[in-house]
Structure 1
Amino acid sequence: MYIKEIEFVNFKSFGKKVKISFYNDFTTISGPNGSGKSNIIDGILFALGLSSSRTMRAEKLTDLIYNGDEAKKPDFAQVTIRFDNTDRKMPLELDEVEVSRKVRRTKNAYYSYFYFNGKAVSLGEIHSQLAKAGVTPEGYNVVMQGDVTQITSMSSVERRKIIDEIAGVAEFDDRKQKALGELEIVRQQVERVDIILEEVRTQLEKLAGERDQALKYQALKTEKIKFEGYVLLSKLKDARTELENVDKELAGKEEHFEKVQVLLDERVKELEALEQALETISLEIRKKGEDEQLQVKREIEETKGEISRCVDSIELSESELEDADAKRRKAFVDIDSTKGKVGELEEKIEVENVRKESISSELSERKTERMLLQSRIADVDAKFAATRDELMAARKKLEDIKNEKNELIRNEDRLLDTLRRKSSELRDIENQIRDAEAAFTASDSDTLSVQYEIEKLTENLESLIEDRDDVESNHFRVKEDIKKLETRLHSLQQEYAIAEARVRASEQGGGYSRAVEMVIGASRQNELFGIHGTIAQLGKVDRRYAAALEVAAGNRMQAVVVDTDGDAAEAIEFLKRRKGGRATFLPLNKMRDSRRLESLSYD
């Protein structure tokens, strides 16, 4: 892609519409001072928005409008550039691309417009389209006056930066740095998310424990209600038995009452007989004398007293019998209530003993788990400390290698600069030799002096050639050292990645997951069958390749190998019943043998 044509309208010294054609590869413009050669470059900068107005030798954009005679005072200026896009350097399906800019002056201010293929766009859109073709404001697509002198006076590092910008490497370096920055931000966010996930995981474990306690409480509550029903049924059965006993006792009491009633009736009959006898005696007394009458009266009174005493004793016996019955009933009631209370207390004692035993067993299990966790935590802390020390050492080695590499690169740059200077000096000496040889052929009188100068220059040339060879050999050695350092840096980066993976693994927690440990423990206790173990337990590898295997396999090292898919289903049901979580199972009957490589060995 190249500039095909530039069109000026009222721009600086171009007071009318002017079109300038350009050709492919190379085009030169010549003319006397003040003829407008620099204005063409200013027009390119103006139209493409590659520079400010000060760079174009103007205080403000309105100073770019043609300011000719009084008869012609235009209020706008416009520059249009047409690019040849037949090579599709700009990703558009057009053979010609047109970029135009127009500045218009008003009473109070001015306005600037950009056009891309006749459509009004912004400066950012213009730069975006030009950047696709490698034209940027920061680049050296347009070389201004003084730029060449400035480039020659720059250091090698600054010139290297300019070459990178021209070649487009600087843009990729900026993108790389930006991507690395975003990657660092993402890494920090991932670490923050990992911390949040760890907290959520801890909270979930805590909630899972509380849920288990709640489910246990609910089950115990249901069992308590069931046992209370059993107790009520037992009490009802005892009450029915007691009612039957009371009915039997009441029947006995009624029978006794009937016997007492019969006895009372007999006594009443006896009393009536005695009263009749008393009346008969009274009649006889009346008939007999007074002394006998008195004697009879006394006997009668004694008999009445005896009768009353008998009646009182009968009533007293009945009252005592009723009191005894009442006391007996009360004693039975007290015995029943006492038996019920004793039964309830015994049941409560039994429940508390069972609960005490379960709590004691659970406490012992928790203590055992705590001791195991403490030992595991101690092991993980030791591994983490060792891995952290290895990581710090690897980081330090990496920084030393980077510093050494940077120093070698700087030495290489210095050697290259020295080589360039020596090469330029060598070319100057060769030119002097050619000039001397030409002078030698032109003048025989200066032969001796020229020969002397030639010998001197030849010696200088040989010394410079030796210096150049030394510089080249040093440059070659530096390159070899850089290659060795890059190889070492690559190996250290791999070690650093492995150490970092180990640190992340140790931070996430060592050992197997709770589900895998439950399955392995059940297999050892013969609760589950067909369990062979985890990949980490079954796999055997040389110690040199263990770290690579751990990094590559990751969490798949915890997969459990079983005989059949039925064994896997039983293990999954076991985990569901125990609420142990999830685990990955590899049934051997569902896995097909892959082609074995000759380099692999099986134990």
Structure 2
Amino acid sequence: MIASTPTPRPLAVDSRPDMQAPRLTKLELLGFKSFVSRTVFTFEPGITAIVGPNGSGKSNVADAVRWVLGEQGQSALRARRTEDVIFAGGQGRAPAGLAEATLTFDNAERWLPIDFAEVTVTRRAFRSGENHYLINGKRVRLKDVSLLTASLGQSHLVVGQGLVDAALSQRPDERRALFEHAADLAGLRLKVAEAERNLTETESNSERLTDLLTELEPRLRTLERAARQAREWQSVRDRLRTLQQAHFGRLLNAAVARVGAATGESTRRQSALSRARAALDKLTLENGTQTKAAERARALLGEHDAERGAVSEQLRAMEQERDLAAERATALARRGDDMADTREGLEARAVAVAGELEQVTAELAAIDQAVRAAETKARERDLRVREQRSLRQALDDQLRQLEAGRAGAERDLTDRGRAVALLEQRAGSVGAERERLLAEIAGRRDRLDRLVSELNDVDAAAKSSATTLDRIDHRLNDLSSTSDHAASRLAEATAAFAESERLLAHASTRLDALTRLHQSGVGLHAGVREVLAAAAAGTLTGTLGTVAELVAVPAELDAAIEVALGSHLQDIVVEHWSDAETAIAHLKRSRAGRATFQPLDTVRGGHGRNPRLDAALRLLGTRGVAAELVGAEDQLRDVVAALLGRTLVVIDLPAARQSLPHLPGGWSAVTRAGEIARSGGSVTGGVAARESGLLARERELRELPDEIRLFSAARE
């Protein structure tokens, strides 16, 4: 049964007697036990009774009131866990995701310690076991709900099944809680418990302060001395800063002077480049002029070649004509000899035919006419012979005519025997023709000699022109080769200079970016950044840097060493244990985080190599112990050995598996790709390990200055 009636207030905590007890006005349920849908119970003034058959949910209403008021005992709610108060589903209804119950109180008379006329208290439970408490829609703590509703024990009482029998059977000290609840003392109990807890914490803090004072008092003298040293260090630092400023000023002036000198050198080189370009342009112009002259010379040589070819053709034609004329002269000489022989025979016969002379006298006139006609034809043949182009044809025609005349004469002499005078005349004509032909041959020989002389002159001129042209070609080729070589060297020098400038600018930009990243501490933990910043500012001493800065790792082992070091990659190496203590105290004061330190005076690198490791080092695919594969200064060898002295670097996972039986306890094998196998048999791997980039960045910071110097030297 739930009672909500105004009652006298003899046991109320508040001392105002005129106040009335607050009233429970409304209860809203959603998903709580059997109330799957939102259900609202309104409580009017007076007594409100809820009746119904067994199993209808009357007790669930009382459980909801108890649950909202902060009940934590699951047995009091007839449940075993939080999920049991959430509707579990049934009769075609799906299970609910949460349970919610809301109590609404009338606080117009401010009975509750909150400045609202109406107060709603809500509790929600989720299947994950999480509980939410809300007062007037604002999320609060269970403690806040307990303090707010602690005074409701007198005016609102939840009497569950069997509670009366249990109260009657309890011992007096057990029954005391019921009376205290009815007397409205629950809120006071909560406040007393909180006060006692606060008092205990205060006493603990006081004891801690006492311990701190006891601990710090003996160190006051040390701290005073440290403060004095700090002040002295401050003055020394100021002096050092002044000296550094002066030194850096001198360095800056020297750098400015060097920049000026470099600028002058660049100007000089630029002027030299301009002169070289002007010389190249001049050579290019001369090359064009020489090319045109060579073309003209080649054209002239072509003309000379054409003329020489024509003269050679004429010479060959004349030589042919000369040979023909010589052959014809030889034939005529032979024929003259034959005619002389014939004439002798005829003279011998003349005596025989003397008697016939009178008979042929009458025919002499006709023979004379024939001779005159033959002479006329001979003169015509002479005119045709003089023509150079038809010389051969004319000679052939004349020869045929002479042969025809000779045949006719022979026929006449044989037939008639009286053609002696005609033959004599013909012999005279043939002699004259022979003289004429010999004279013409001599003239043609003279002309041929002149032509040969002219041809020799033309050949000499052609050879001279060819020699001149060859010299011009050689000079042109030399100039072209010199120009091409100069242009090639200029292009190569310009390309090399531009490439050096580009590489130098890229390296300088990369170095500046990496320096800024290094100085800003990108990629480092907050505590590590704070310690390095304090060390750079001079607040902390003895700080050498992080492990990533101080070890030199080959590029192909970046992933393996980063995996092997893990979080130790950002460990800070200090000179002494006291330096680490000072840095930790600084982190505590600044609340900047945490950091791990490697003091050089306390870190020990190990006790020598385990004999079992020799077998692993002899296996195929083993690179060696990680501590021996990285570079570091001698004073850091113990730190490197402590961090990497129990790590074996191998090529791949099969090599790691092969080395496991030979690894001593506590050792591990790491591959170049970042997989790691431990001596206990476990292995870690998968997608290629994502590197933090610290090792690569530090390596570039070490290597880029040397590269910049090389690029600067190459540019000069």
Aligning the two structures, in what range does the TM-score lie when normalised by the shorter sequence?
Answer: under 0.3
TM-score norm. by structure 1 comes to: 0.28
Between the two structures, name the one with larger relative contact order (CA 8 Å, sep ≥ 6): 2
TM-score norm. by structure 2 comes to: 0.24
Larger of the two Rg values belongs to structure = 2
Query: Which one has a larger percent helix, Structure 1 or Structure 2?
Result: 1
